[in-house]
Amino acid sequence: MPDHDTAHPALVSTSVPGLDVVLGGGLFQGALVLIMGPPGSGKTTLATQIAFAAAQAHRKTIVFTALSESTTKLLKHLQRFAFFDASLIGVEIVFFSLEAFLADGVAAASDAVIAATRQVGAELVIIDGFRGITGVASDPQQARAFLFDVGAALSLAGTTTIINSEAEPRDPKLFPESTTADVILGLTYGVRDRRALRGIEAIKVRGGTPLPGIHALGLDGTGVLVYPRIETQAITALPRPEVVAALPPWAASATSLTTAAFGIPALDALLSGGVTRDTSTLLTGSLGTGKTLLALHFALAGVAAGEPVVMLSFRETLPQLLAKADAFALGATLRAGLAAAGPLTLIRWEPVELVPEQVLDHLLTILAQTHAQRLVIDSLVELQRAVTETSSRGRIANVIAALLAVLRQRKVTLLGVLETSVTVTSTPDFAADPLAILAENLLLLQHVGQEEQIQRMLTVLKMRFAPHTLTRYPFTIAAPEGIRLGPSDTDR
């Protein structure tokens, strides 16, 4: 078997979180990599982060700095990042100024750079700053040609070479160089509603299968973090239809569906045991109808059964959630669930400037780590908003469809809370809501006016794999038992 793989060079990890996934595994040794992007997009951080990771692995690395920034200035700037390791400098990784090589002209510089690389025995070379070179050579095209000649020569000799270039990722003027490069990464940097948004696209990965599209790029004290688009987790490269021409063996006999209970006897009875496993259920309704409490019931029913459960919350903080649980005698179960070896994992995000790719990437990681098959998201509204803010409303349906597909693949049962603006009404029409179409099941919680009283009502609007009637069931929320289906005490 290994003999068949020799045609494909082994991929080396970049050690940048998420980047290997986007590249389709990593970078092959000797690759000529071009990173393009505007100022501030993270080119230098990305390249030097890869450089320090290589140095850490005892792979000799050279960073050639541009004229615009001295090596001293660059090193000072890099000290802010966790990947910076001063003990490696001058030992495993060296920083050279390109300027020294250019003293005798562009032609001589090429040979000098190659000679310096050979002397160090570098496995990785970073040439940071296309623009700096452009300043020295009279013709920008000549400067580009110089860098690419150098890069191509180094890459042919087996040295992975990363060239950073201050350019628009899809600048047609760069076309000649683009054909030479094995990998082209485009970084984007924009401001939207006063918020900085960074992205990364694997424009070209020769011989590889990169994840298509623009992925989210984060910058913090650890350096660059890449969060792949959730859509690429559901489909790879091109969407392919599933065509069934022959029934697979497993489908020959009737399948028995299992359910995930709420732990509220009357509701579970109504749903013939609970919601169908491996499906998604939307819990919708206006503010204050008890959605979060019902979602908490669902999560804790899993905890009580000893199932690993994940709760993704943008609303209640841990103290608020504990207070809520305590008010309804659910506190002990919640505490047991969240105890050190407990089956419940609570993920809480402050719903400010969320990056949907980051939130979902983290969620899928936690689901994989915990093997959870029961997930509560409170609520999907924050995710929708994050998608709208970072791209457009039009992407919501794709993101949610991808999320639901990934959850289905992983056999995770989702209960997602979704606010509606309708306060008091009869059954609202969800026909136009893409979320309601995508989810298998739809539960509606409402306030319905009955003479002097406002009664809480639960309606099963859609239950794809179970029989249901469009009947409104009254329910009450009372301490200490929490949610109870049935007429309110005053009606009895």
- By CB under 8 A, name the one of 4, 39, 87, 138 that touches other proteins: 87
Mark the segment that binds other proteins (CB under 8 A) among 114-122, 240-248, 297-305, 388-396.
114-122
Task: Measure the CA–CA gap between 320 and 213, rounded to whole angstroms.
Answer: 39
- By CB under 8 A, name the one of 108, 115, 251, 424 that touches other proteins: 115
- By CB under 8 A, name the one of 10, 40, 58, 76 that touches other proteins: 76
Task: Measure the CA–CA gap between 444 and 403, rounded to whole angstroms.
Answer: 21
Query: Three-state SS for 258?
Result: coil
Of 131, 135, 125, which Cα lies nearest the Cα of 159? 125
Shortest gap between Cβ of 81 and other proteins (angstroms)? 15
72 binds other proteins per the rule CB under 8 A: yes
User: Binding string to other proteins for residues 429 to 458, with x set by CB under 8 A, is what?
Assistant: ------------------------------
- By CB under 8 A, name the one of 100, 251, 332, 454 that touches other proteins: 100
User: CB-wise, 99 or 149, nearer to other proteins?
Assistant: 99
Q: Are strands 259-260 and 275-276 parallel, antiparallel or unpaired?
A: antiparallel
User: Binding string to other proteins for residues 16 to 55, with x set by CB under 8 A, is what?
Assistant: ----------------------------------------
Task: Measure the CA–CA gap between 471 and 423, rounded to whole angstroms.
Answer: 18
Shortest gap between Cβ of 120 and other proteins (angstroms)? 8
User: CB-wise, 116 or 338, nearer to other proteins?
Assistant: 116
95 binds other proteins per the rule CB under 8 A: yes
User: CB-wise, 49 or 281, nearer to other proteins?
Assistant: 49
Of 366, 373, 465, 464, which Cα lies nearest the Cα of 413? 373
Q: Which residues of 66-100 are buried (b: 16+ CB within 10 A; e: fewer)?
A: bbeeebeebbeebeebebbbeebbeebbbbbbbbe
User: CB-wise, 85 or 326, nearer to other proteins?
Assistant: 85
User: CB-wise, 91 or 237, nearer to other proteins?
Assistant: 91
Burial degree of 20 (CB within 10 A; 0-12, 13-18, 19+):
middle
- By CB under 8 A, name the one of 11, 20, 24, 88 that touches other proteins: 88
Task: Measure the CA–CA gap between 94 and 110, rounded to whole angstroms.
Answer: 18
Shortest gap between Cβ of 71 and other proteins (angstroms)? 6
Which residues sit opposite 346 in a β-bridge? 311
Instruction: Give the number of other Cβ atoms within 10 Å of residue 313's Cβ.
Output: 23
Task: Measure the CA–CA gap between 47 and 77, rounded to whole angstroms.
Answer: 14
71 binds other proteins per the rule CB under 8 A: yes
For other proteins, the binding residues (CB under 8 A) are 70-73, 75-76, 86-91, 94-97, 99-101, 103, 112-113, 115-116, 119
